[in-house]
């Protein structure tokens, strides 16, 4: 651990069921941590009973092992990540902690939608990929291909992965990040049968491609596993081609930290200096029944020891580190000291949340926050079965939200509802099960409901908002925000934390008017507030309150009280009372709020609904049933291709129509369809069903049945 040259921090990423956890098992068996007989079936990294029962990984789990390469020992810190789209947040967080990724692809299925998503997450965090093509034995034994055809198919998989890397990050592709079998950055094998082969491995063992083919044909996997053990091929590739913390942090620190590189802490992070100030980024929080909250993360600079006092970004008081350790799958091992470049698990940081920066340096610029690819789209209401559990339930929901930042918990004080929004039905089902099992609170959950967003369709003239005492007036107009700017905000390229000149330039480049770019005073979700007034007295004192009014509307729009998206509010004029007593919060907030609410209703307030991309593979005979099922759910078919007798349908379907899809698609295709989904963004609800949906939401939230009009919000 003390020699960063000999550390590799890696993540294993892939589409669901392509063999990540089975591969991790093999690597652990090779390091002598679990028995070789059980490797591939024990699924050591899926330590949670729910993961074992469902046969999928739900939480990313960490383990450290030692591998000998060229007679030197190396420490490998490995994170096994989930493949299911509902748990994609875990992949994003794991990518912040590692420097390299092993991308696993099933030789039969090839690259799938989720392979694309996880590769994009890795490249965005500047994590270098190598490729492992798994399940090669299936190509030979199930699809009966000859050795020529086998090489062609494997070549196609490699080409496709390279094409993805090139499209997602051309600079890195040119810098030599492409995967290449001849160079040794690709390994082929079978995680279930514990063997793998790569070009360097062939030179080492003398086993050629045709030998592999003959062994598989003869079903003699055991000899193959003895001659070419999987852990050796994969870990040699990892040590040889993936960067150590010293090399990786030079380039990565610039991407994930926006402070000044020439300060002492900047230099210390770039060189992974164990004697520098502490800089630790929290990427995961789990609850240990005995030790409380355990924060896992990557240590970029300094060393962690027990009892040291640290600052956590966003809080003023110091916390004291209680235990320092590393994770070995489900167990945590305590150590005395962890130096920079490692992945550590710490207890005692009560105020830390996922994405926090922990440091010994007061006032250090925090790390860039972790951005998740998809947004919560499905909500359930949670109630305690027994009234006595109510106070405990609120505490438990807060804990759960801290452990999983992709989960949104809303405690609605007006209606007394506790709402839990997540990535999909499975995500919420798993969380609900865990609340009952681990936290011992019996709960009932409502049917899943879809999360909508409110938005506007056109630009309007300025609307006057008056304060209740009639002494203050604001003139505000609203218009839709350009899509380029919306995506820049979501990608984190534009935010209120960046230097003003840099932000202004970025917005002008995206096509915003120079004066407007200069006047931005607030960004909330994907909405912005711009002040275009000149020389109005007392305005800078009241701006905070105006922004409070703006944020209040953006959290709950006038039409359905759902969150608002993609709206630009512009303040063009204001009249304020000269006496501070007459322009307090009770006057200013309602005035700003009403002007924006009325403006949105005049600008044709509408709803955006979440969509999922649905990929269906089905035999051509039953293709009609599958397309009919998708179109019956307001789905749009984007593309249809055929491979042999298999049809591959790519479509986009509203999440609201996806409930119960699993059962229906099975019966429509005689159980022969394979399907997967990924988040497909938001789109406007068709006007033919808009009023019906608005009515349903208003009824559910206990609002008045008739639709609001702009005049309801303006005081005469």
Tokens 């009892």, located at residue: 307
Q: Is 21 annotated as a binding residue?
A: yes
Q: Is 211 in a helix, a strand, or coil?
A: helix
Instruction: Give CA–CA dist 28/42, Å, rounded.
Output: 11
Chain-centroid distance, C-alpha 383 = 27
Closest to 677 in 3D by CA, of 110, 114, 120: 114
Q: Is 312 annotated as a binding residue?
A: no
Q: Is 82 annotated as a binding residue?
A: yes
Chain-centroid distance, C-alpha 440 = 28
Instruction: Give DSSP secondary structure letters for 336-394.
Output: SEEETTSEEEEE--TT--TT-EEESSTTPPPBPPPPPSS---EEEEEEESSGGGHHHHH
Q: Is 545 in the same domain as 489? A: yes
Instruction: Give CA–CA dist 325/1, Å, rounded.
Output: 12
Q: What angle do CA 436, 437, 440 make, to 5 degrees?
A: 60
Q: Is 117 in the same domain as 65? A: yes
Q: Does a structural domain hold residue 322?
A: yes
Q: Is 483 annotated as a binding residue?
A: no
CB atoms within 10 A of CB 612: 23
Q: Is 178 in the same domain as 304? A: no
Q: Does a structural domain hold residue 545?
A: yes
Range of the domain at 202: 4-243
Q: Is 81 annotated as a binding residue?
A: yes
| 250 Cβ neighbours under 8 A, 6+ residues apart | 270, 271
Q: End of a domain among 428, 451, 474? A: 451
Q: Is 17 annotated as a binding residue?
A: yes
Give pLDDT, residue 495.
85
Instruction: Give CA–CA dist 463/473, Å, rounded.
Output: 10
Instruction: Give CA–CA dist 282/284, Å, rounded.
Output: 6
Strand ranges (DSSP E) for 620-691?
Answer: 636-643, 646-654, 674-684
| 614 Cβ neighbours under 8 A, 6+ residues apart | 630, 635, 650, 651, 652, 653, 658, 661, 675, 676, 677
Instruction: Give CA–CA dist 187/233, Å, rounded.
Output: 7
Instruction: Give CA–CA dist 552/562, Å, rounded.
Output: 11
Residue pair 382/420 in contact by the 8 Å Cβ criterion = yes
Q: Does a structural domain hold residue 695?
A: no
Give pLDDT, residue 640.
92
Q: Is 20 annotated as a binding residue?
A: yes
Q: Is 15 annotated as a binding residue?
A: yes
Q: How many helices (H) and strands (E) are present in the chain, helices listed first? A: 23, 32
Q: Is 560 in the same domain as 648? A: no
Fill in the DSSP letter of residue 707.
Answer: P
Bridge partner list, 346: 295, 324
Q: Is 581 in the same domain as 650? A: no
**Distances from the Cα of 313 to the Cα of 279, 307, 367, 489, angstroms:** 11, 19, 9, 22
Q: Is 265 in the same domain as 411? A: no
Q: Is 212 in the same domain as 77? A: yes
Q: End of a domain among 451, 472, 492? A: 451
Q: What angle do CA 432, 435, 437 make, to 5 degrees?
A: 105
Give pLDDT, residue 111.
87
Q: Is 552 in the same domain as 662? A: no
Give pLDDT, residue 367.
87
Q: Is 391 in the same domain as 500? A: no
CATH number of the domain where residue 277 is located = 2.40.30.10
Bridge partner list, 320: 309
Give pLDDT, residue 109.
85
Q: Is 137 annotated as a binding residue?
A: yes
Q: Which residues of the chain have pLDDT under 50?
A: none
Say if strands 674-684 and 378-384 run parallel, antiparallel, or are unpaired.
unpaired
CATH number of the domain where residue 659 is located = 3.30.70.240
Q: End of a domain among 219, 243, 267? A: 243
Q: Does a structural domain hold residue 702?
A: no
pTM exceeds cut of 0.85 = no
Using a 10 angstrom Cβ sphere, with 0-12 exposed, 13-18 middle and 19 or more buried, the burial of residue 529 is buried
Q: Is 135 annotated as a binding residue?
A: yes
Instruction: Give CA–CA dist 372/356, Å, rounded.
Output: 15
Q: Is 67 in the same domain as 179? A: yes
Q: Does a structural domain hold residue 66?
A: yes
CB atoms within 10 A of CB 136: 24
Chain-centroid distance, C-alpha 10 = 18
Q: Is 239 annotated as a binding residue?
A: no
The kind and range of the H/E element at 695 are: helix 687-700
Structure tokens at 192: 């279930």
Structure tokens at 24: 């991790």
CB atoms within 10 A of CB 41: 9
Instruction: Give DSSP secondary structure letters for 68-137.
Output: EETTEEEEEEEEE---SGGGHHHHHHHHHH-SEEEEEEETTT-S-HHHHHHHHHHHHTT-EEEEEEE-HH
Residue pair 669/625 in contact by the 8 Å Cβ criterion = yes
Residue pair 672/622 in contact by the 8 Å Cβ criterion = yes
**Distances from the Cα of 294 to the Cα of 28, 58, 325, 346, 355, angstroms:** 23, 18, 10, 6, 14
Structure tokens at 9: 């921090």
Q: What's the total number of domains in the chain?
A: 5
Residue pair 239/128 in contact by the 8 Å Cβ criterion = no
Q: Is 19 annotated as a binding residue?
A: yes
CATH number of the domain where residue 125 is located = 3.40.50.300
Q: Is 472 annotated as a binding residue?
A: no
Fill in the DSSP letter of residue 229.
Answer: B
Instruction: Give CA–CA dist 508/616, Å, rounded.
Output: 42
Residue pair 64/47 in contact by the 8 Å Cβ criterion = no
Instruction: Give CA–CA dist 12/235, Å, rounded.
Output: 12
**Distances from the Cα of 569 to the Cα of 182, 475, 479, 493, 583, angstroms:** 56, 10, 7, 20, 21
Q: Is 495 in the same domain as 545? A: yes
Give pLDDT, residue 565.
93
Say if strands 7-14 and 453-455 run parallel, antiparallel, or are unpaired.
unpaired
Give pLDDT, residue 496.
86
Q: Does a structural domain hold residue 370?
A: no
Q: Does a structural domain hold residue 116?
A: yes
**Distances from the Cα of 50 to the Cα of 100, 429, 645, angstroms:** 28, 11, 36
Q: Does a structural domain hold residue 443?
A: yes
Closest to 626 in 3D by CA, of 657, 668, 677: 668
Alpha helices in 125-208 (DSSP H): 136-141, 147-168, 170-172, 199-205
Q: Is 177 in the same domain as 120? A: yes
Closest to 162 in 3D by CA, of 199, 111, 233, 213: 111
Radius of gyration of the chain from its Cα atoms, rounded to whole angstroms: 28
Instruction: Give CA–CA dist 716/712, Å, rounded.
Output: 10
């Amino acid at each position: 651990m003390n020699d960063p040259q000999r550390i590799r921090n890696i993540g294993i990423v892939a589409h669901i069921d392509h063999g990540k956890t089975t591969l991790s098992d093999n690597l652990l068996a090779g390091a002598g941590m679990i028995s070789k007989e059980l490797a591939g079936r024990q699924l050591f990294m899926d330590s949670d009973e729910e993961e074992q029962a469902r046969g999928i990984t739900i939480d990313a789990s960490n383990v450290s092992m030692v591998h000998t390469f060229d007679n030197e020992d190396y420490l490998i810190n490995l994170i096994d990540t989930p493949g299911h789209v509902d748990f994609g947040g875990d992949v994003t967080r794991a990518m912040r902690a590692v420097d390299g990724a092993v991308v696993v692809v099933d030789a039969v299925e090839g690259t799938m939608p989720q392979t694309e998503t996880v590769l994009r997450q890795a490249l965005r965090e500047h994590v270098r990929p190598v490729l492992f093509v798994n399940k090669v034995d299936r190509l030979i034994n199930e699809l009966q291909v000859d050795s020529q055809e086998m090489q062609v198919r494997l070549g196609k998989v490699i080409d496709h992965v390279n094409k993805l890397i090139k499209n997602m990050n051309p600079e890195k592709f040119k810098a030599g990040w492409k995967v290449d079998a001849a160079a040794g950055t690709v390994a082929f094998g079978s995680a279930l049968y514990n063997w793998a082969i790569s070009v360097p491995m062939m030179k080492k063992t003398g086993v050629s491609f045709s030998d592999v083919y003959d062994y598989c044909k003869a079903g003699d996997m055991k000899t193959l596993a003895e001659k070419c053990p999987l852990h050796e091929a994969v870990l040699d590739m990892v040590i040889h081609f993936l960067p150590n913390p010293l090399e990786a942090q030079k380039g990565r620190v610039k991407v994930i930290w926006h402070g000044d590189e020439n300060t002492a802490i900047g230099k210390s992070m770039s060189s992974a200096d164990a004697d520098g100030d502490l800089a630790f980024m929290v990427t995961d929080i789990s609850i240990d029944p005995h030790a409380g909250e355990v924060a896992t993360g990557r240590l970029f600079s300094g060393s962690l020891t027990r009892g040291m006092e640290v600052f956590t970004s966003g809080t003023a008081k110091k916390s004291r580190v209680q235990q320092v350790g590393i994770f070995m799958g489900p167990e945590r091992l305590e150590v005395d000291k962890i130096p920079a470049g490692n992945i550590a698990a710490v207890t005692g940081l009560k105020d830390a949340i996922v994405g926090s920066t922990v440091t010994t340096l007061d006032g250090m610029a925090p790390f860039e926050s972790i951005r998740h690819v998809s947004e919560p789209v499905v909500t359930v209401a949670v109630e305690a079965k027994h009234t006595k559990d109510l106070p405990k339930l609120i505490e438990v929901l807060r804990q759960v939200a801290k452990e999983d930042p992709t989960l949104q918990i809303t405690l609605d004080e007006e209606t007394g509802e506790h709402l839990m929004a997540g990535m999909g039905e499975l995500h919420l089902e798993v969380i609900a099960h865990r609340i009952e099992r681990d936290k011992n609170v019996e709960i009932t959950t409502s049917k899943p409901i879809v999360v909508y967003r409110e938005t506007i369709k056109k630009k309007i003239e300025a609307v006057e908002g008056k304060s209740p005492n009639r002494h203050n007036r604001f003139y505000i107009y609203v218009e839709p925000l350009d899509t380029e700017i919306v995506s820049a905000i979501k990608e984190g390229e534009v935010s209120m934390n960046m230097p003003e000149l840099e932000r202004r330039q970025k917005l002008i480049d995206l096509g915003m008017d120079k004066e407007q770019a200069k006047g931005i005073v607030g960004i909330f979700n994907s909405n912005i507030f711009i002040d275009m007034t000149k020389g109005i007295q007392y305005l800078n004192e009241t701006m905070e309150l105006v922004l409070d009014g703006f944020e209040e509307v953006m959290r709950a729009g006038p039409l359905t009280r759902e969150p608002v998206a993609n709206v630009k509010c512009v303040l063009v004029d204001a009249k304020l009372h000269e006496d501070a007593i007459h322009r307090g919060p009770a006057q200013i907030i309602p005035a700003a709020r009403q002007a924006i609410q009325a403006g949105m209703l005049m600008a044709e307030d509408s709803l955006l609904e979440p969509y999922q991309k649905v990929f269906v593979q089905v035999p051509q005979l039953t293709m009609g049933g599958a397309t009919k099922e998708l179109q019956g759910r307001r789905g749009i078919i984007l593309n249809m291709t055929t491979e042999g007798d298999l049809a591959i349908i790519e479509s986009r379907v509203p999440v609201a129509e996806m409930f119960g899809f699993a059962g229906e698609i099975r019966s429509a295709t005689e159980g022969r369809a394979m399907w997967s989904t990924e988040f497909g963004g938001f789109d406007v609800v068709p006007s033919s069903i808009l009023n019906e949906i608005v009515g349903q939401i208003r009824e559910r939230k206990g609002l008045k049945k008739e639709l609001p009009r702009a005049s309801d919000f303006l005081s005469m």
